[in-house]
Amino acid sequence: MNQLLAIIGTPKAGTTSLAHWLGNRPEFVLGVEKEPRFFTEFAKTKWSGPGGDAFADTLISDEQAYRANFPHLKDDQWAIDASTDYLWHEPACELLKQYGQKARVKLICLVRDPVDRAISEYNHTLREGWEPLSFADALAAEGDRMADHYHPLFYHRRRSEVAGDLARFHAAFGGDLLVLSYDQLSNPQAILDQVSGFLGLPSRPVGDATARNPSLLPRNSFVAALKSNKQLHRLVKRVLPQGLKDRLRQATHVDAREVETIPPADIAAFRTSMAAEIQHCQEAAYIPTEGWMAP
């Protein structure tokens, strides 16, 4: 592996779409496991909570296995590692920096309004049938859940606090870090042209610009019950072609933005609690915050 493009964050900010769009280009190879989290110490942790075992199964801690995650990678291609936990997990910055002695390493981070990001992540836990708590109660339980090693999909506040994390990466990588806005994904060609310039690659037509990993919720309790059936879920994932899976998902789910899963008062309270974080991001010249709502 000569060239590594790490999309280090943030979760629920369009990283899956960006990785997919780049992966359609001949200069890139997507990992079989999108988020191998190789540059973390996660493999040392016994993960708990809903989905903890499945999360642990995605982790790659051996370098040979990590290289094998990018089959048919050529010397002049970029391997795409879209592990969004790199941003908040403190050891990741130094581990990626050390890997830069072996390969050319460039980083991209997508950022999103921290409140909108946390809401999307909370809705994801609802979609999986993992979260029995309200948004406010989930935030209150976050510290205990982190101590109990719930996996990071439950770290709504922590993974929305990006100012300090980005300062650490910016100090370590300087011009090898590109920070982009979630809102830029509405113009796929423009954002891909910016990434191309960052990597010294020619501009190409975007091709398939379908958004990936949209925020959806089960249309009713029956769909939610079917989704929680792991054997059925694995069968559908293995047997059905991608196009049919996409149509089935659209028919059985609704856009989470059209469903009120959190009382507006709780959203307002969370936004107020994030005021200092939002201000710190707005003060950092390298973090695009246009469109973020003020408390």
Contact in structure between 128 and 50 (CB atoms under 8 Å): yes
50: pLDDT strictly greater than 90: yes
Across the range 158-181, mean pLDDT stands at 98
Which tokens belong to 214?
């949209």
H helix intervals, the chain: 15-23, 52-57, 63-68, 91-99, 114-127, 135-147, 163-173, 188-199, 221-227, 230-239, 242-252, 264-273, 275-283
DSSP 8-state class, residue 249: H
pLDDT averaged over every residue in the chain? 91
Q: Give the pLDDT of residue 226.
A: 63
Looking at 3.40.50.970, 3.40.50.300, 1.10.8.60, 3.20.20.210, the CATH number of the domain 3-113+158-211+277-283 comes to: 3.40.50.300
Residue 225 predicted with pLDDT over 70:
no
What is the arithmetic mean of pLDDT over 55-73? 97
Interval 241-281: pLDDT, tens: 877 877 776 777 556 556 679 999 999 999 999 999 999 99
**What's residue 67's pLDDT?**
97
What is the per-residue pLDDT across 102-143, written as a single tens digit (0 to 9) for each? 999 999 999 999 999 999 999 999 999 999 999 999 999 999
HSE-CB for 230 with a 13 A CA cutoff? 5
Of these ranges, 14-28, 214-228, 248-262, the one predicted with the greatest mean pLDDT is 14-28
Q: What is the pLDDT of residue 219?
A: 62
**Does an H or E element contain 106, and which?**
strand 104-111
Query: 10 preceded by cis ω (within 30°)?
Result: yes
**What tokens were used for 107?**
């980083």
**What pLDDT does 241 receive?**
82
Supply the DSSP symbol for 150.
B
User: For the chain, what are the domain ranges?
Assistant: 3-113+158-211+277-283
Mean pLDDT in residue range 154-164:
99
Output the CA torsion sign for 272, 277, 282, 283: positive
Q: Answer yes or no: are the C-beta atoms of 80 and 31 closer than 8 Å.
A: yes
pTM over 0.75: yes
pLDDT score of 218 more than 90: no
Asked whether the beta carbons of 36 and 131 are under 8 A apart, the reply is: no
The number of angstroms, rounded, from the C-alpha of 145 to the middle of its chain's C-alpha atoms is 20
On the question of pLDDT at 166 being above 60, the answer is yes
Q: What is the rounded distance in angstroms from the CA atom of residue 232 to the CA atom of residue 226? A: 7
Residue 73 has pLDDT above 90, yes or no: yes
